[in-house]
Structure 1
Amino acid sequence: MVRISLLTYLALGLGSTTVLADCGQAPSSSPAVQIPTGVLTPVTDFGVNPTGLDLHIYVPKNLAPKPAVILALHLCGGTGPIYSYLSNYNPHADQRKNFVVLYPSTPHDNHCWDVASKKSLTRDAGGDTTSLASMVRWAISEFDADPAKVFVTGSSSGCMMSNVMAAAYPDIFSAVSCYSGIPAGCLAGSPGASPQNSDPTCGQGKKIKSGEEWAAVLKSIYGKPEGYTEGSYPKVQTWHGEADFFVNYPNLQEQLKQWSTVLDVPFSKTQANAPDTGYTKIVYGDGSKLVGYSAKGVGHTVPVHPEEDLKWFGL
């Protein structure tokens, strides 16, 4: 399990080309050419890409038929290849051989995902969310993936975008697991989504709403697109550190209020030391639709728990 703090991540300079080499970066590919397996591979043509995002993909050798697809979203200042290193999903893909991982990158706003603009907070409106959905749709088609096994995860800015993607595309994603984020729509109307450009009240945990208010914000992201009807939303688990003073800890409760209302599941219990010592599992309903994890003494961000994510995804 990779456990690298944000400060260590920045101090190590994990944006260097050395890390990209360690990740096994391969020559450019396109959907018309068979994608190499066992290496992180850039894909340059995955369809509609209005915000000019980049994509790397990891396909294990001997991939099973009808695989799952995981969209894994980096934190601010990161890239897809860096997040492939930090999240450590690739070795698990090699072992299980039943899923591929998409690692997008955004070059904009200090490499933070756009979770603030009207375009990105509207389904298929030409924002980052449109480009990310295009990647997922391409992967489902390219690998004849199981459309019932499509998942989204991410850290910090990537968690913020995971919540937004689940809100905008509930018909695509079956489950979410994300780390140290904010409720979907919390930064709506902000000048940007990076720490330098965003409305600070959200990151500071000062934007407090009722569950019903947060649910209305989330559902507005899907909207009423022509030809679509609103269906069920994906199940969600979300993680946050109690010592997080960057994306402050109250955001965990706001996310849980939002999703418990959307998914219509009440709080039921807590479980100490789950899945690790110092973590508290917060269970809603029977735990099949919504759980939170509160990490004592952990700052920004909570380390990725790939085994727990894959268990949540049913992989």
Structure 2
Amino acid sequence: MSSNRAPSYTRCMSLASLSNGQAVTSITDWGANPTGLELHGYIPSSLPAKPGVILALHPCGGSGLQYSRQTKYTAFADKGGFITLFPSTKNDYNCWDVATNKSLTRDGGGDSTGLSNIIKWAKSKYNADPAKIFVTGSSSGCMMTNIMCATYPDVFAASSCYSGMPAGCLAGASGSSPITVGDRRCEQGKMVKTGAEWAKEVQAIYPGYNGTYPKMLIWHGDADRVISYTNLAETLKQWSAVKGLSFTKNITNTPQAGYTQMIYGDGTELVGYSAAGVGHTVPVHDDIDLKWFNL
């Protein structure tokens, strides 16, 4: 791509003209914010004693406000009794930092630290249930979802990740956007490793951690021309190795025609979805996510 034209995944998610759920509001004073994140969210007027929380991360070039309109999580929040939070990063063409040591270190002062502080705020202010904290995202937001699961595995119970890359794939890159990244092997599907090698990337992010990692849903379309479909296999290699799970079976036309569900272990910890003919990004399947989150 020419240097004077922004690569396509900075523009891949346009602002939805109508909200798919409840309107979100701006939230300030939620805690230490080392990278200048912004936050929107929807807090139901009536919450259970210990509500759940969904942290939803936008793609490159987007914002939390836009992503709230492109998903339907808020439409289910009142009935489900959970909080939905949509942070925004304003740095590096609005792409989440998945490359620097600060963000790839627990409490290192990067975007991941700010996102962790948002969850700490929700727990403190709304008595959020530690067993019902979830993270999801699309494209750059999916990459950051994988980073959050690696950096704060004890914080999140489950995740759902749409059209991204494995945790650590861009570690040490010159940036996290297609404009600043420099080495584009991850984006192009040329960063191929064994499961054990990918697991080391996760372990390097939070060394010495011996606990469990969140449940994972991994989605990718085989017609993705922005972030290579190869990254579905690489991400599944990574988390199956981390979790010590083996591939069990495929189930075709699930959850809809053209999608293949890829089961690891007994299907309660790691599931992939390959979407035939789908480009960048796989549409958010809110209902599947909420079932996975038990919300």
Normalised by the length of structure 2, the TM-score is: 0.93
Q: Name the CA shift for 1:254/1:13 in 2 (closer, same or farther; >3 Å).
A: closer
Structure 1 counterpart of 2:4? none
Equivalent position to 1:80, from 54, 64, 71: 64
Residue by residue over 1:201-250, the C-alpha shift from the partner in whole angstroms, topping out at 9 and shown as x without a partner, is 001110001000000011111124xxxx5311111011000000100000
SS at 1:187's partner residue? coil
Q: Name the CA shift for 1:185/1:11 in 2 (closer, same or farther; >3 Å).
A: closer
| Aligned residue runs from structure 1 range 196-215, under 5 A | 196-198=179-181, 199-215=183-199
Q: Is the 8 A contact 2:12 2:281 kept in 1?
A: no
Structure 1 counterpart of 2:3? none
CA–CA distance in structure 1, aligned partners of residues 158 and 109 of structure 2: 24
Q: Name the CA shift for 1:218/1:12 in 2 (closer, same or farther; >3 Å).
A: closer
Q: Are 2:171 and 1:188 aligned?
A: yes
Off by >6 Å, runs of 4+ in structure 1: none
Q: Are 2:234 and 1:250 aligned?
A: no
Structure 2 counterpart of 1:174? 157
SS at 2:161's partner residue? strand
SS at 1:202's partner residue? coil
Q: Are 2:141 and 1:161 aligned?
A: no
AA partner of residue 206 (structure 1)? K
SS at 1:256's partner residue? helix
SS at 1:247's partner residue? coil
Q: Are 2:128 and 1:148 aligned?
A: no
SS at 1:203's partner residue? coil
Q: Name the CA shift for 1:48/1:23 in 2 (closer, same or farther; >3 Å).
A: farther
Q: Is the 8 A contact 1:39 1:59 kept in 2?
A: no
AA partner of residue 142 (structure 1)? K
AA partner of residue 120 (structure 2)? R
CA–CA distance in structure 2, aligned partners of residues 241 and 75 of structure 1: 16
CA–CA distance in structure 2, aligned partners of residues 262 and 215 of structure 1: 5
Q: Is the 8 A contact 2:150 2:206 kept in 1?
A: yes
Equivalent position to 2:35, from 48, 51, 59: 51
Q: Is the 8 A contact 2:20 2:71 kept in 1?
A: no
Shift of 1:13: 5.1
Q: Are 2:120 and 1:119 aligned?
A: no
Structure 2 counterpart of 1:110? 93
Q: Are 2:22 and 1:14 aligned?
A: no
SS at 1:108's partner residue? coil
Taking only aligned residues, the RMSD between alpha carbons, in angstroms, comes to 1.8
Q: Is the 8 A contact 2:92 2:177 kept in 1?
A: yes
AA partner of residue 188 (structure 2)? Q
AA partner of residue 124 (structure 1)? D
Structure 1 counterpart of 2:75? 91
Q: Where does the alignment leave 5 or more consecutive residues of structure 2 unmatched?
A: 1-7
Residue by residue over 1:33-73, the C-alpha shift from the partner in whole angstroms, topping out at 9 and shown as x without a partner, is xxxxx641211111111001001111123222211011100
More displaced stretch, 74-83 vs 58-67? 58-67
SS at 2:266's partner residue? coil
Structure 2 counterpart of 1:34? none
CA–CA distance in structure 1, aligned partners of residues 120 and 294 of structure 2: 20
SS at 2:272's partner residue? strand
Q: Name the CA shift for 1:207/1:146 in 2 (closer, same or farther; >3 Å).
A: same
More displaced stretch, 284-293 vs 230-239? 230-239
AA partner of residue 220 (structure 1)? A
Q: Is the 8 A contact 2:187 2:226 kept in 1?
A: yes
